[in-house]
A = this chain, B = another copy of it.
Amino acid sequence: MTRRPALTVVGATGGAGSVMLQILSQHADVWGEVRLVASARSAGRKLLVRGEECEVLALSEEALDGADVVVFLAPDEIAAHWAPVAAAKGAVVVDSSAAFRMDPDVPLVVPELNPHAVRMRPRGIVASPHPTTLAMIVTVGALHAEFCLSELVLSTYQAVSGEGQAGVEALRRQISLVAGTGLGTSPGDVRRAVGDDLGPFAAPVALNVVPWAGELAEDGWSSQELGLRDELRKLLDLPRLPVAATCVRVPVVTTHSVSVHARFENEVDVARAHEILATAPGVVLFDDPAAGEFPTPADVVGTDPTWVGRVRSSPDDPRVLELFVCGDNLRKGTALNAAHIAELAAREFTAR
């Protein structure tokens, strides 16, 4: 009889952490011991996992002992410090933060796309992509395998939970301030109602869209825009792929959407693209505008796959496809992809 591997989840008390607990309960037979870890502030809380109460431990050297796999659902700076500590103790580390995504010695993994890369991890760390990348990569990757991608132009519609609970609370506070009013029609009226209570955003997000996500990088680009480009190039192994992204925050709680303009080396047709997307793992094709069928965040939130619709070819260029994709940024976008990577690593232990 094989031993089931031990899992430690760091960041168990956040939004992605609570989704991870649901996933662990659904996939209850994968893991032996499950340990939950969070900041000292959350230590001692009891959370339900696989039907049993589990006490949250404070993050420390000792808390990382004894795990076969450690999943980090924690901020960049926590992961940057503690992931190498866990790896040095012999665990396989799965990190959902940005800390290691572009490290050449850390594979960036989407199990539907490049599952074998999990085993090539010289630092003992495997990275999971940004939620916006994960909202679209499975769709675009499946089309690339058939048609060979040559350019991407992306505009995002990113949910506020991408900035964590602080983002969700800021939107909810702001919506309460504007509900039942006539705001949104005079210069600055939303800004005056919201005041300085912007939460993690650079402008009001209720009754508004904010064309900014991340930090200022070079030449006016945001870190998330350049990160999307870098991650897509690494995942698709196309180091020179032109990728132009504009990242925009919208008043949606959870589920990122992306408008995708994809040019390929070869001519594409919508019927063949539909066939590919209808059978691609992790993808739901939902594309019949005549019947009102196209993905929206309100319909996709809480589901595992990425959804794609509005598939159409350009009358101007037979190599171009337009798509609209939605993916739950806490599920496939964070916890689910990390769980899938962790389960690939778990097989190494059960196969021993």
Interface of A toward B, CB cutoff 8 Å: 153, 155, 157, 161, 172, 175-176, 178-180, 183-191, 202-204, 207-212, 216, 219-222, 240, 242-244, 246, 248, 250-254, 257, 259, 261, 270, 287, 289-290, 292, 294-303, 309-317, 320, 322, 324
Contact = CB atoms under 8 A, between A and B. Distances in A.
Nearest to A215: B289
Given A221-B312, A246-B310, A186 B301 contact: yes
A296 B252 CA distance: 16
Given A191-B298, A204-B298, A209 B153 contact: no
Contacts of A289: 212, 216, 220, 222
A296 B208 contact: yes
Given A219-B270, A242-B316, A313-B219, A211 B257 contact: yes
Contact of A244 (B297, B298, B320): B320
A310 B220 contact: yes
A14 B251 CA distance: 27
A227 to B, nearest CB: 14
B252 A188 contact: no
Given A287-B220, A289-B222, A184 B311 contact: no
7 smallest CB-CB distances across A and B, nearest first, come from A184-B253, A179-B179, A155-B155, A242-B316, A187-B302, A155-B259, A220-B312
A174 B250 CA distance: 16
A302 B186 CA distance: 5
Given A203-B296, A299-B187, A302-B187, A261 B259 contact: no
A136 B189 CA distance: 23
B303 A187 contact: yes
A182 to B, nearest CB: 8
A311 to B, nearest CB: 7
A290 B216 CA distance: 7
Nearest to A187: B302
Contact of A259 (B190, B211, B312, B322): B211
Nearest to A295: B211
A296 B209 contact: yes
Contacts of A248: 157, 257, 259, 324
11 contacts: A175-B179, A184-B254, A187-B302, A203-B292, A209-B252, A209-B257, A209-B297, A210-B296, A243-B316, A244-B314, A244-B316
A210 B250 CA distance: 12
Contacts of A314: 242, 244
A333 B319 CA distance: 33
A202 B313 contact: no
A282 B351 CA distance: 67
Contacts of A250: 157, 209, 250-251
